[in-house]
């Protein structure tokens, strides 16, 4: 399995996980990577692993994800264009019955970076794992204030 982006908090690094059987057949120099990792990036990766391996940190991510979805359901759940608000942890999708592009653009113009996903009708929200409750509330406020663009 290959791994990349989140390993070092967004810095360029990559890794490959293999079984013991495969590992025994690979020799030094058989595998190379553009993003194998410099000492700086590897230090960042160790810091990321140290942070996310703590059970209280992962628990806080789950709690923040639930809080985010709860606020979204309260503020956006009644909107006629919102079919579903779903997600795991802090990876959240707002499934719309119309293309999401105008909504995404309005959010970005208001200072909130969100993306489209799926067939272009899902707003993808993937904040950093260290997001605060205040920042979650600010994001939901922006989403609430800009969703009206879908009625134009």
The pLDDT, as a whole number, for residue 67 is 98
The predicted structure's pLDDT at residue 50: 94
In this prediction, residue 14 carries a pLDDT of 82
| pLDDT for position 35 | 66
* Domains of the chain, each with CATH number or no CATH: 2-52 (no CATH), 55-151 (3.90.1150.10)
pLDDT at 37: 72
Q: Give the pLDDT of residue 148.
A: 96
Write the DSSP symbol of residue 25.
T
| CA pair distance 148, 103, nearest whole angstrom | 8
Q: Per DSSP, what are the bridge partners of residue 94?
A: 85, 123
Instruction: Provide the phi-psi class of 99: left if phi over 0, else alpha when psi is between -120 and 50, else beta.
Output: beta
Rg (CA), the chain: 19
- CB-CB contact of 89 with 131 (8 Å): no
pLDDT in tens, the chain (152 residues): 887 777 888 888 888 888 999 999 988 777 777 767 788 989 999 999 999 999 999 999 999 999 999 999 999 999 999 999 999 999 999 999 999 999 999 999 999 999 999 899 999 999 999 999 999 999 999 999 999 999 98
Per DSSP, 49 falls in state H
């Amino acid at each position: 399995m290959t791994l990349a982006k989140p390993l070092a908090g967004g810095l360029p690094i990559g890794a490959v996980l293999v079984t013991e059987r495969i590992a025994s057949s690979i020799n030094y120099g058989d595998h190379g990577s553009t993003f194998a990792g410099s000492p700086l990036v590897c230090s960042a990766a160790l810091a990321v692993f140290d942070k996310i391996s703590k059970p209280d940190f992962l628990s806080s991510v789950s709690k923040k994800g639930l809080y985010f979805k709860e606020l979204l359901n309260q503020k956006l759940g009644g909107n006629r264009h919102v079919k579903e608000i779903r997600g795991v942890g802090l990876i959240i999708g707002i499934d719309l019955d119309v293309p999401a592009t105008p909504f995404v653009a309005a959010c970005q113009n208001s200072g909130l970076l969100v993306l489209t996903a799926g067939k272009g009708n899902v707003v993808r929200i993937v904040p950093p794992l260290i997001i605060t409750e205040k920042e979650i509330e600010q994001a939901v406020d922006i989403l609430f204030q800009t969703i009206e663009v879908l009625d134009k």
